[in-house]
Amino acid sequence: MRIVIVGLGIQGNKRLKVAGGDVVATVDPVAPKADHKKIEDVPLGTYDAALVCTPDDAKLSIVKFLLSSGKHVLVEKPLWAPTLEKINELRILARANGAACYTAYNHRFEPHLVRLKEIVSKNILGPLYWVKFFYGNGTAFDVKGSPWRDRGAGVITDLGSHLADLALFLFDPKDLKLETWRLESFENRAVDYAIFASLGLPLFQFEMTLLSWKNTFRAEIFGKEGSVHVDGLCKWGPSTLTLRKRVLPSGRPLEETETIESPDPTWEKEYAHFKKLCLSGGNNLDNDLWIQSVLAKISL
């Protein structure tokens, strides 16, 4: 497959490394090493698909151009639009032109999160009581210096979109309704700390921040028969998964822990998934519609 990388920032260079010999051109309006400044400058007959790694404001028009031209698209999350109808228009356009359109959420390929989905699917924990996600990094100062990142909903669309997608991946909670517990802008113009939770059961609690000086990811699920706890992502290594089985009437649970210490496998796995998706022309834009509809209701 012949690939064009659109945007040569941090994510674009990661995608460039993974796609390797598939890349036939790069696009960036300012990067000196880019082959072209605009995607429209790349001859349509020279490529099959594009990996769009641009600032959020540029994504919609670029994706629309590519899909209209029958090109497959991987676009970095979040795919956010002024209205949900704009995303739906992309879905219609992709289907009409037989083009794959995939919004990248690479944490779905994290080994322990794949295992977490298996535990949930097999009902090992029994009826679920509550689910807690925490995602934090220390990028507040970097974001503050960015001309495009420190605005809008901030950490809610940045890290919160990952957590919403994981909730969708693990549980498919189509009717999830959220209430805001706390939003803060400690160092940034946009929100750099947020915590919100669901109404109804199981209780979902989402907490995210750009002010966690050590990069931290935790996912915890509690049910009648036990609990499961994921601590860390492979990119920060090591990552652990602990399964605890309840002992009645009370007492120390039976516990199993798995530890993974390896390079981040998610980028290669996601790229392979995208290439397979191109064969069928499938898309995951329903996910984007759901994520935006859920997060847009958070009170700013």
Tens digit of each residue's pLDDT (9 = 90 or more) over 70-104:
999 999 999 988 889 999 999 999 999 999 999 99
Sheet containing strand 101-104, edge to edge, reads 23-27, 3-6, 49-52, 72-76, 101-104
pLDDT tens readout for residues 111-146: 999 999 999 999 999 999 999 999 999 999 999 988
Is the pLDDT at 227 greater than 90? The verdict is: yes
Is 136 found in the same domain as 169?
Answer: yes
**Which of 55, 83, 104 marks a domain boundary?**
104
Is 231 found in the same domain as 141?
Answer: yes
pLDDT-based confidence at residue 152 (cuts at 50, 70, 90):
confident
Q: Domain for residue 299, yes or no?
A: no
* The pLDDT value given to residue 296: 86
Cα 262 versus chain centre, distance: 20
Is 238 found in the same domain as 191?
Answer: yes
* The pLDDT value given to residue 146: 84
Tokens, residue 158? 């940045």
Query: Which residue range is the domain that position 176 belongs to?
Result: 107-264
Is 18 found in the same domain as 69?
Answer: yes
pLDDT-based confidence at residue 297 (cuts at 50, 70, 90):
confident
3-state secondary structure 26-70: EECCCCCCCCECCHHHCCHHHCCEEEECCCHHHHHHHHHHHHHCC
Q: Domain for residue 58, yes or no?
A: yes
Is 169 found in the same domain as 249?
Answer: yes
Q: Domain for residue 277, yes or no?
A: no
Structural domain count, the chain: 2
Is 255 found in the same domain as 145?
Answer: yes
pLDDT-based confidence at residue 257 (cuts at 50, 70, 90):
very high
Q: Domain for residue 295, yes or no?
A: no
Is 199 found in the same domain as 179?
Answer: yes
Pairing of strands 128-136, 203-209: parallel
Instruction: Supply the angle between the helices 10-19 and 266-280 in degrees, to the nearest 10.
Output: 70
Kindly state the average pLDDT of the residues 200-211: 95
Cβ–Cβ under 8 Å, residues 192 and 183: no
Tokens, residue 43? 């001859």
Kindly state the average pLDDT of the residues 238-262: 96
Specify the CATH number for the domain of residue 18.
3.40.50.720
Cβ–Cβ under 8 Å, residues 77 and 101: no
Is the pLDDT at 299 greater than 70? The verdict is: no
Q: Domain for residue 116, yes or no?
A: yes
Is 76 found in the same domain as 38?
Answer: yes
Is the pLDDT at 155 greater than 90? The verdict is: yes
Is the pLDDT at 300 greater than 60? The verdict is: no
What DSSP character marks residue 274? H
Measured CA distances, 165 to 64, 127, 178, 281 (Å): 23, 22, 14, 21
